Chains A and B, each alone.
Chain A
Amino acid sequence: MTQPALDQPLVTGLSPEGFADRAQLIEREIQRVIVGQDALVRQTLICLVANGHALLEGVPGLGKTMLVRTIAEVLDCTFNRIQFTPDLMPADIVGTNVLVEESGQRVFRFQPGPVFANLLLADEINRATPKTQSALLEAMQEQQVSVARERHLLSPPFFVLATQNPLEMEGTYPLPEAQLDRFLFKLWVPFPSEADLITIVERTTGSTTAHAQAVADASEIVAMQRLARSVPIAPHVTAYAVSVLAATHPDGPRAPQLVREYVRYGGSPRGAQALVLAGKINALLEGRYNVATDDIRAVALPALRHRVIRNFEGEAEGITSDAIVRAVLDAVAPPAVD
């Protein structure tokens, strides 16, 4: 068996260096449009490469839609946007069979909904009814939709970026915990710094508007996804990821006091999967072939913050999920040898 050189493509068709280069290229292109928000861009990319979905939460006007649109441009993928409203129906998302005339005969033809795209922006997902939410969430989980007993596969990559507004909660339908769990990451869109804000204003108020170029296509994203899953991970790193997840449970042996007092339920096994998979991608993005415990820690916040369910006291006292996850990371130190 010949041993591939570092610059040779692997079986997936992409070398680790190629992965890193491609990822950097994508990030750089996105950052031509999205000012600041480097961490957000990186985490969104991780979600995309992990074949997961991201839930973005932030106040209006921070560029959430712009981010998704830019990603679609950079990736040269199909992109759809759904503005969730209370009267949105499931068929409006997944599509429906419509009666059409073909050769003088009336037949039902499936009319795909907006979910049939590589990138889907589910804007203000919490404004739709649970029934409609669940229709999208089924597609997210199964990568397919079923209409009139007929399955319709979604073409990879299928990446959903859902947004929700933490303000204006009246008349919304918060996502239940089971559906939150299906998002790989929950990303918090921070308010840009003043310097970034100046750049944003300058870029968007001039005569020309910045546009991103397509630097990758769907097949390359799929190749990156496959490569990411092949990254080896040492047992002690996997064990560390599991320890971190176990510490989010109030009855866990290493749970910190904050978890014991203010957490009702900890993360599900999907949380550990998210930690490991995102850790692998983070390692590749940093040019390594192995997952380090630092990778796990780097992705712990977006991977666990929506999986930690606070109890009443925690919500009443304003204990944020981020504070809880940070307490967990403080309590569960990486395996160290002195």
Chain B
Amino acid sequence: MNPLPPTTSESTILQLRRGLRPYQRRLWLRRLVRDGARIAAFVAAAGLVLAGAARLTPLGWAPLAAAAMVVAGLLALLIDAARVRPTLAETAMALDSEQGLRDRLASALALSERTPGDRPDAESHEALVRLQREDALRSLAAADRRAFRPRLPQRALASTVLCAALIVPALVLPNPQSAILAAREEQRDAAEQQARRLDQTADRLGTGRESPDPRADVADELRRLAKSLRDRPADLDEHLARLGSMEDALRSRLEPGAEQRAAAMTSLARSLSQLATGSDSNPAGDPQHAAEDLDEMAEGLDDKSPAEPAELARRLAEMEPVARQAGPEARGALHDAASALARGETAAAREALAKLGDALERGQRQVDLNRDLARAANDVQGARRALAGSGPTRAGQGGQPGQPGSSSIPGSSAAPGQPGSSGQPGQPGQSGQPGQPGQGSQPGQGNQPGQGNQPGQGSQPGQGNQPGQGQGQGQGSLGGGGSNARYLGSGTGQGATRGPTTGNRQFGTGELDPVYADFDRLGRPGDPSYIAGSGGDGQIDPGSGQGAGTGNDGIVPYTDVYQEFQDLAITTLDRSYVPVDVKDYVRDYFSRLGGGP
């Protein structure tokens, strides 16, 4: 349905509205230009403040904030564009004001929306309203078509130009904060990298394991550390402290002689398998394999001739020194089996052999645990080192001079025989001030028990032509470069074993690296805990076995003096104040020795 045709008066209003449309657009444009200039001035001022601040303090988010300011400015302009769009009434009022039309247009529009009502002079009022509309239309026709020219606010324009002029040099000139930001970025990347590394270690440790397995707990702690690294990469000192603390905790849980024990267990397992099967069926020295072989041997004891158990007992007895290295449990079981076989007690021997197999398996698990923890400690150490290196450069204090390396007491051979093998070379410390040349040439003496971290133990006196076996552990000296080096010297046989010395060479990456203790416990340059060493150029002096082992008449079998020592110890325990647990320890020691051959 077509709308009713407009009356003349309505037609006038329509013409008035139509005539105001171009002015409405022009007024809108003027407002947009005005507000746009103001927004631009504001954004430029904010950008200038940001650029200035970014030169005074490292603001990694400055580019993002600058982009956000521009986007916010555009967004504000968009919102403003919708907000400042003038209505026709506003346009009429503005045009009245600009063209001096004395409210003609605004009045015409406003009056068109009002009804005369029942006022007594409605007719004359309506007539005047019509006249007023026509007057307004004439005024609109005479109005300047170029009204509402966009006007740039001078103050905003000047502010924008000034700020832009100042921003350019602030952006072009080198910013001293860039280096700091780059270092922080590097630190963040390093933190992320080390967090991944810790996560990998945690996955390796924790997969398939649950508490109370210590590896599961360690894995949890590592994951927390990794999360902390990701969440707060800037807290370098805290992370280094936590990593150091965790590394220390892991190291403290490591059994120092674990690798010795592992080697002994491997050797024992291989020998037991060879004894049980008559062939080298277990060249790798797998304890489980050895346990199975022992089971088979135990089952076949009943079928053996009377002389064979004695021979087995003798050969088992020969393995007892190695079993002692493998642990008291293995040694006790081996001893029990040998004793039972020597006495011809097959059932007891079978039971003892089963215990021996179990002891081997448990020992292997302990070794595995130790290795996992050691590897985790090395990972943590590596993470800490990498993280320390990624931090901002700090002015460090001069390092303390390194102590001259001194050899530990070399490994000792318990019995004459084969020349002792050279000790493992010490791993050089991190660079620092060169340390004094290591002095580690004190020859080992074959007739004295070695003393290192642990005293070397001569298990048995040399017997005739048979070579004795002895293992000693030497401890390296403190090397230069602020490192704390430990050496594991091991040698067999007799000879002047020259213990390892400290060296100041760069850290080697041999395959035994994870096994041996770290050299830079005190950190590296830039690390808060770093203590620089000084001194001469150290050198590695690997130990070398010299000379043939000889029988030593000075060695007295402990069985000959056992009773005397035991009496003296018991008397001492009874007469002196000694803690109960120590008394138990001493008594246990002698009771164990008393069961030996």
Chain A interface (Cβ within 8 Å of chain B)?
3-4, 6, 10-12, 16, 226-227, 229-237, 286, 288-295, 335-338
Residues from chain B with a CB closer than 8 A to the CB of A11 are 121, 123-124, 127
Q: Is the CB of B131 within 8 A of A16?
A: yes
Would you list the 3 A-B pairs with minimal beta carbon distance, nearest first?
A: A289-B132, A290-B107, A234-B107
Q: Is the CB of B106 within 8 A of A236?
A: yes
Please judge, given known A-B contacts A229-B121, A234-B110, A235-B110, whether A288 and B102 are in contact too, CB under 8 Å: yes
Q: Is the CB of B125 within 8 A of A230?
A: yes
**Residue on B nearest A16 in the bound complex, by CB:** B131
Q: Is the CB of B128 within 8 A of A230?
A: yes
Looking at chain A's contact residues, is the secondary structure mostly helix, strand, loop, or mixed?
Answer: loop
B135 at the A interface (CB under 8 A)? yes
6 sampled A-B residue pairs with Cβ under 8 A: A11-B127, A12-B121, A226-B124, A232-B132, A236-B106, A288-B135
Distance between Cα atoms of A338 and B148 in the complex (Å)? 9
CB distance from B126 to the nearest CB of A (A): 8
Please judge, given known A-B contacts A16-B131, A289-B131, A292-B102, whether A233 and B124 are in contact too, CB under 8 Å: no
Distance between Cα atoms of A230 and B130 in the complex (Å)? 12
Q: Is the CB of A236 within 8 A of B127?
A: no
CB distance from B16 to the nearest CB of A (A): 13
Residues from chain B with a CB closer than 8 A to the CB of A338 are 31, 34, 94
B93 at the A interface (CB under 8 A)? yes
Interface readout for B110-141 with A: 1 if CB under 8 Å, 0 if not? Answer: 11001000000101110111111011100000
Q: Is the CB of A232 within 8 A of B111?
A: yes
Distance between Cα atoms of A292 and B8 in the complex (Å)? 25
**Residue on A nearest B104 in the bound complex, by CB:** A290
CB distance from B122 to the nearest CB of A (A): 9
Residues from chain A with a CB closer than 8 A to the CB of B107 are 232-234, 237, 290-292
Q: Is the CB of B114 within 8 A of A235?
A: yes
Distance between Cα atoms of A289 and B31 in the complex (Å)? 31
Distance between Cα atoms of A292 and B121 in the complex (Å)? 21
CB distance from A259 to the nearest CB of B (A): 26
Q: Is the CB of A290 within 8 A of B132?
A: yes
B259 at the A interface (CB under 8 A)? no
B75-103 residues at the A interface, CB under 8 angstroms: 86, 90-91, 93-94, 96-97, 102-103
Residues from chain A with a CB closer than 8 A to the CB of B104 are 288, 290, 292
**Residue on A nearest B93 in the bound complex, by CB:** A337
Q: Is the CB of A234 within 8 A of B111?
A: yes
Q: Is the CB of B135 within 8 A of A226?
A: no
Most chain A CB atoms below 10 A, which of B124, B129, B136: B124
CB distance from A276 to the nearest CB of B (A): 13
B377 at the A interface (CB under 8 A)? no
Residues from chain A with a CB closer than 8 A to the CB of B128 are 10, 16, 230-232, 289
Distance between Cα atoms of A316 and B130 in the complex (Å)? 52
B297 at the A interface (CB under 8 A)? no
Residues from chain B with a CB closer than 8 A to the CB of A291 are 103, 107
**Residue on A nearest B130 in the bound complex, by CB:** A3
B190 at the A interface (CB under 8 A)? no
Q: Is the CB of A234 within 8 A of B127?
A: no
Q: Is the CB of A232 within 8 A of B103?
A: no
Q: Is the CB of A337 within 8 A of B86?
A: yes
Residues from chain A with a CB closer than 8 A to the CB of B111 are 232, 234, 290
Q: Is the CB of A234 within 8 A of B94?
A: no
Residues from chain A with a CB closer than 8 A to the CB of B103 are 234, 236-237, 290-294
**Residue on B nearest A14 in the bound complex, by CB:** B124
Q: Is the CB of A335 within 8 A of B93?
A: yes
Distance between Cα atoms of A234 and B130 in the complex (Å)? 14
Most chain A CB atoms below 10 A, which of B104, B129, B132: B132
Q: A4-B130, A289-B132 are in contact. List 4 more A-B contacts (CB 8 A).
A: A6-B131, A290-B102, A290-B108, A291-B103
Distance between Cα atoms of A335 and B27 in the complex (Å)? 16
Q: Is the CB of A236 within 8 A of B132?
A: no
**Residue on B nearest A229 in the bound complex, by CB:** B121
Residues from chain A with a CB closer than 8 A to the CB of B136 are 290
**Residue on A nearest B109 in the bound complex, by CB:** A234
**Residue on B nearest A288 in the bound complex, by CB:** B102
